[in-house]
Structure 1
Amino acid sequence: MKNILTLSLVTLSLTACVNRDNQYDYIETPQPNQVADLQDDDTDGVINARDLCVATPDESEINNEGCGIIITSSNERHLHILFSNDSADIQPIFSSQIRQMVEFLELYPETSIEIQGYASKVGNEEYNLALSKRRAEAVDRRIESMGIAADRVTVVGYGETHLEYDGDDEMSHARNRKVTASVVGYQGDIKKEWTIFSRLPK
């Protein structure tokens, strides 16, 4: 008896939506009020309304704001050039060091470099100060001749005030006749999203 009563109620509710000609009454589709841009122009899975990075690189792993996750890497480059006694001439053996430094500066255009010149404690202190600066300027000219802008290079001469080797032997003097420089560059790489085509390093 209970089952028959339930079936009757279901039948009654269904027929209530049907008119006498067995046709459903037309209900007009409500007009949506869209308040946000639901499109995803850069197809990164984040709608335009909350996408803060509108040109996400393809295959990049993104955060909730639609921006690619960036991994920061750093590299460092050094110069260490030795000079003959009372000389500011760059010996050919050090040309590759300078070329590598130039390539580094080109790779990291936001970096600058300070070139530091030194001298041994042989001779007059004032003369050695000027000599150390001439050595640094010689390296500076070589770097700028290879396309690095002058405003990215600073030159300083220390003379014999910052000796690395304090001995009076010829080996110590030779090691103190030098130009050094170091620079650190930072670069960001987009972290790519893993796909079925990704390959792990062997």
Structure 2
Amino acid sequence: MKYTIIGLLALSLFGCSLSVPQPPIAKQTKNLFDNDSDGVINQRDHCPKTPIDAVVDNNGCPTYIDSSEENKIHVLFANDSSVIFENYRNNIKNMSTFLAKYPKTHIELKGYASPVGNTAYNVALSKRRASVIRQALINEGVTPARIKTVGFGDSDPVKASDIEESNTLSRRVVAQVVGSQGNVVKEWTVYTVREN
């Protein structure tokens, strides 16, 4: 009986293989990495360079909201003059900064004159005034191709309480530019810092 148990044990040990076969290696055929860390794997990511804190859809694309702002130029001139007063230089500098922020925008400078004197002369004067502002913007770094000038002469005088005030306010160059851009909607995390 003793030999039978030992024999059965020996037979069971030698009859069974002691080596276990290696499991098959799975071959990865898809890119499962997430290079931009937006939670969408590269294989499905349609927007591979998403900003870190952006809210993304199932395709890995950020959500945008449109925002816009406007800036204006309003420069007055002395009678029969196209010389820019020093106190308007900041207005011109602010416009150049605005145009730099929105590089796809263009500006149309509209020059005017007061209804004093010859109409043809006033048209030429209003064009000179617009051209002077154009040159000031170019000097501030704005690309010339983004600036258009128009001279309206004395065709649109400003209404005021008396003729003298109307003439003073009519000698002007004006422009209004609207800049818009899409801003990425950002998600809040414990690491988010509030902007002031």
Q: TM-score range by the shorter chain?
A: 0.7 to 0.9
**Which residue in the other structure is 1:90 paired with?**
84
Q: 2 CA distance for matches of 1:41 and 1:175?
A: 59
Give runs of aligned pairs for residues 142-181 of structure 1, distance below 5 A.
142-165=136-159, 169-181=163-175
Tell me the distance in 2 between the aligned counterparts of 1:101 and 1:159: 23
RMSD of aligned Cα (Å) = 2.4
- The answer as to 2:149 corresponding to 1:130 is no
How far the C-alpha of 1:33 sits from its partner, in A, is 6.1
Structure 2: segments with no counterpart, 5+ residues: 1-11
Partner of 1:43: 37
Residue 75 of structure 1: SS of its match in structure 2? strand
Q: Which runs of 5+ in 1 are unaligned?
A: 1-19
Residues 1:190 and 1:24: Cα distance change in structure 2 (over 3 Å):
farther
1:70–1:191 Cα contact (<8 Å) kept = yes
Secondary structure at the counterpart of residue 154 of structure 1:
strand
Matched, 1:78 2:72: yes
Relative to 1, partners in 2 of residues 1:61 and 1:195: Cα closer, same or farther, differing over 3 Å? same
Measure how far apart 1:50 and its partner are. Answer: 1.0
Aligned identity (percent) is 40
Deviation beyond 6 Å, 4+ runs, structure 1: 22-25
Q: Is the 8 A contact 1:78 1:182 kept in 2?
A: yes
Say whether the 8 Å CA contact 1:60–1:190 is kept in structure 2. yes
> Once the two structures are superposed, what CA deviation does each residue of 1:123-176 show, in whole Å capped at 9, x if it has no partner?
111111111101101111111111111101000000111223277611111111
Q: How many residues align?
A: 183
Mapped partners of 1:99, 1:165: distance in 2: 28
